[in-house]
Every structure is written in C-alpha cells, then in structure tokens.
Amino acid sequence: MTTAPLTLVRGSITDQSVDAIVNAANSSLLGGGGVDGAIHRNGGPEILAECRALRAARYGRGLPTGQAVATTAGRLDARWVIHTVGPVYEVSTGGDHTLLASCYRESLRVADELGARTVAFPAISTGAYGWPMEDAARIAVETVRNTETAVTEVRFVLFDERAYAAFAGQLH
Ligand code: AR6
C-alpha cells in the first residue's frame, strides 16, 4: 500500500468513468440535492433501492457523519457509489474538520475493501453543508495524501472554476 496519485478535473461527478464515485450524501441515504441529486438522477432507481436496504439492515438511524458505505452505481459509468456524509459547517462555530477528513479516509477504506482502483470525489460539504472551499480543499488534499491505500487514482471532480482553483492551489 502507498498513497494515491491525485488528479483534478472540472466537471460533473456523474460523467466520470471510474471504479467508484463518492457521493456527498446525508445521513438518511435517501437522496437530496447537489451531488446526491445528480447521482440518483443519472444512476437510476437501483441506487436508491440499495440505500433503502442498507437503512433497513444496518443503518436504521442513518449513516453517521464521517462514515462511508457502498452501493451499486446503477447506470453510472462506475461499479460502485460510495456514500459518505460530510459535516455541516456553522458560520458561528465552524465545523468538525476531523469528520470531514474522516469522509475521505473512510471512503478510501471502503474503496480498498471493494478493490476499487480509481475513485472520483466531489468537494464534500462545500455546497449545502456550507464548508468554505479553500479550507475544505486543504483538508481533502492533506487527508488523501496521508492515507495509505491501494487506490491508484484519486480524482477530485470540481464543479466550477472557484472550486477547481482552490484544489489546484493545494497541489503545489
Ligand atoms: N458534480 C461535482 N460537483 C458537484 C455537482 C456535480 N454534479 N453538483 C454540485 N457539486 P453538495 P454537501 C458541487 O451540496 O455540501 C445534498 O442535498 C457543489 O458545487 O452536493 O456535502 C445531500 O443530500 C459543491 O462544491 O454536498 C446532503 O443533504 C460540492 O459539490 C447535502 O446536500 C458539494 O455540494 C450535502 O451537502
């Protein structure tokens, strides 16, 4: 095991051809907006069916923040979706950066369990959950750089130029 090379692309996570696509989900695992909405919309109903089964079997109270769990990727060009729940950033108190780091670490651990070699991540918590982009990019890149994995490519997929620039700034 070693650490995974990082790549950056600007675009939609749902357009990636990789072994595993990471979803910025919520604890319910039952869908939402942003990345989550796009993944369920493009991946089709099989993903939601597996999420419901996970809720029934293992996560009756929902997937805890910072943890990760895999389902099929349905019609997406990937074998798996790895759902993880980022922490919410509160303007007054900030957010728990150990939980944001945990999302990346746990997603890579699940990827290793599955045998996934290429993994696409969105900028977890930087949309509806409000985490400032520069800080989220630093945590994402530092965590992946410090996590031992058999994954051979971690691809950060950034939706807009601002997000891309924030992640690019961390690679130098
Ligand atoms: N591909 C890549 N990045 C995207 C895409 C896309 N298709 N769509 C949005 N982004 P968010 P969160 C960017 O809100 O902050 C959902 O409702 C977006 O610009 O998807 O972790 C869930 O169900 C932002 O930079 O995730 C949860 O309730 C980043 O992806 C909640 O939102 C993450 O934005 C999770 O919030």
Domains contained in the chain, number = 1
Residue 36 lies in a domain: yes
Q: pTM of the entire structure?
A: 0.98
Closest CA to 103 of 71, 163, 146, 143: 143
Q: Note down pLDDT in tens along the chain; length 172 residues.
A: 899 899 999 999 999 999 999 999 999 999 999 999 999 999 999 999 999 999 999 999 999 999 999 999 999 999 999 999 999 999 999 999 999 999 999 999 999 999 999 999 999 999 999 999 999 999 999 999 999 999 999 999 999 999 999 999 999 7
Q: Among 22, 35, 139, say which to mutate for ligand 1: greatest number of ligand atoms within 8 Å of CB.
A: 35
Which pLDDT score, from 0 to 100, does residue 96 have? 98
What is the greatest pairwise CA distance in the chain?
Answer: 44
Closest CA to 52 of 72, 35, 22, 80: 72
Alpha-carbon gap, residue 68 to 84, rounded angstroms: 4
Which pLDDT score, from 0 to 100, does residue 169 have? 97
Q: Where are the alpha helices (DSSP H) in the chain?
A: 34-43, 45-57, 97-114, 133-145, 161-170
Residue 150 lies in a domain: yes
Residue 123 lies in a domain: yes
Residue 1 lies in a domain: no
Domain that holds residue 144: 6-171
Give 86-109 as a DSSP string: PPPPBTTTB--HHHHHHHHHHHHH
Alpha-carbon gap, residue 169 to 171, rounded angstroms: 6
Q: Order across the sheet with 68-72: list the strands.
A: 6-10, 153-158, 118-121, 20-25, 80-85, 68-72
Residue 50 lies in a domain: yes
Distance 81 CA to ligand 1 centre (A): 15
Residue 82 lies in a domain: yes
Distance 123 CA to ligand 1 centre (A): 7
Residue 143 lies in a domain: yes
CATH number at residue 30: 3.40.220.10
Which pLDDT score, from 0 to 100, does residue 109 have? 98
Total Cβ atoms within 10 A of residue 19: 20
